[in-house]
Amino acid sequence: MKECPSFKVSVGFPVFGLGFTTNNELIVAGGGGAGRSGVKNKLVKYTIDVRRNDFEEDAMYEISSEEDAPMSLAVHPKTNAVVAGINASQTSMAEGINNNCRLFDTDEIEFTLVKSVQSLKSKSPEDFQKAARFSKDGSLVATGTTDGMVHVFEYPSMTTLTSVQVVEGDDVLDVDINADSTKLTAVTPQALKLINLRGRHAGEIIQSVSSAVIDKKSKLQFRGFRYGTGYSENLAFAIVNGVGKIGQICLLDPHTLEIKKTLMVSKKPVTAFCLSMDGSLVAVATADLSVSLYEATSLQLLTHIKNAHSFSITSLAISPSRRMLVSASADNTCRVTDLPLQFPASTPRLFLLFADRN
């Protein structure tokens, strides 16, 4: 395992979303929520100066204090577009008016609101858009909400392709679209739900994978999911937590969702994870406030950062260049870990539990 240098920067607000543009600029989303004086709700674009261990603010979009903080963020894989989940004011929500899924364009100096659509049916201010994800080619954007809904929109029109009630009385924790944009996997605590996106049966749930298939004896919950890409195109990744304990990464077949391997990454639950754009690296953050980086196909541990933050880690992002791993927290900070061009060929794993299921 290689020790990598890192530094922490205060951004002045709790962070709930991170993403990199194709130019390695960092988009940070968060804030204090509706009606909290002194802590503004923002989208900010930064240039990361690794030499000075600092962020340079390039553009900022301030959200009304009557509205909620952005609770999810997705950055387009090819353009400068950004999608954020931002609830309208409680008054507007109570009236059923909540164009919470907002599409922005960003350039060198500003964010521009392009379009707003609704991805949340609930009128409760406690509900929100928890996940957003662009397809690999950028033609679709999917959202998951805490009222159990998945919406898929065409980009850039933001016309609804399909809407699915995935689960009743529970959250959609994560969403991802497969390589050819024909299927979507939605994550609920108890199951992965595979949804068809094309043809007459678009919007149908065609497969459900229960968390019990991982370990029938333990009470487990899914937390996240990504289809592999590039180096890991023949894999998919699922995050599974034991209730109140252990966090695991599962490698799956991306076509059948059959679980191939499982690695216990921590004795604490995973709170955030991400996959690099080229599919070679996967990062996880855990409830013990640490961050770990793995080679995606082997799950070989590459580096581990203890006590990365002082409060729960909410988001992770790896730069397109693969030279920066950024973690963010509700403690108002981002930590940048400087990654080498190449890691050592052999690095021991954090834990020895690595179960083959072939």
pLDDT tens profile 238-296? 999 997 679 999 999 999 999 999 999 999 999 999 999 999 999 999 999 999 999 99
pLDDT tens profile 36-47? 667 999 999 999
To the nearest whole percent, how much of the chain has pLDDT over 90?
A: 92
Q: Is 168 a residue whose pLDDT tops 80?
A: yes
d(C-alpha 270, C-alpha 77), whole Å: 25
User: How high is the pLDDT of residue 344?
Assistant: 86
- The overall average pLDDT reported for the chain is 95
Q: Is 354 a residue whose pLDDT tops 70?
A: no
pLDDT tens profile 65-74? 999 999 999 9
pTM of the model: 0.94
Give the residue carrying structure tokens 């995935």.
Answer: 166
Domains in the chain, start-ordered, CATH in brackets? 6-356 (2.130.10.10)
DSSP H helices in 60-163: 90-94
Q: How would DSSP label each residue in 146-167?
A: TTSEEEEEETTTTEEEEEEE--
Nearest 10 degrees: Cα torsion 43, 45, 50, 51: -120
pLDDT tens profile 303-350? 999 999 999 999 999 999 999 999 999 999 999 999 999 998 754 444
Q: Are 175 and 184 in contact (CB under 8 A)?
A: yes
d(C-alpha 273, C-alpha 160), whole Å: 27
User: How high is the pLDDT of residue 35?
Assistant: 80
| Residue 97 banded pLDDT, cuts 50, 70, 90 | very high
Which DSSP category does 31 fall into?
-
Q: How would DSSP label each residue in 328-349?
A: EETTSEEEEEE--SS--S----
Q: Is 217 a residue whose pLDDT tops 60?
A: yes
d(C-alpha 26, C-alpha 22), whole Å: 10
**Amino acid present at 297:** T
Query: Backbone phi, then psi, for 35, in 5-degree steps?
Result: 75, 5
Could you count the other beta carbons within 10 Å of the beta carbon of residue 120?
24
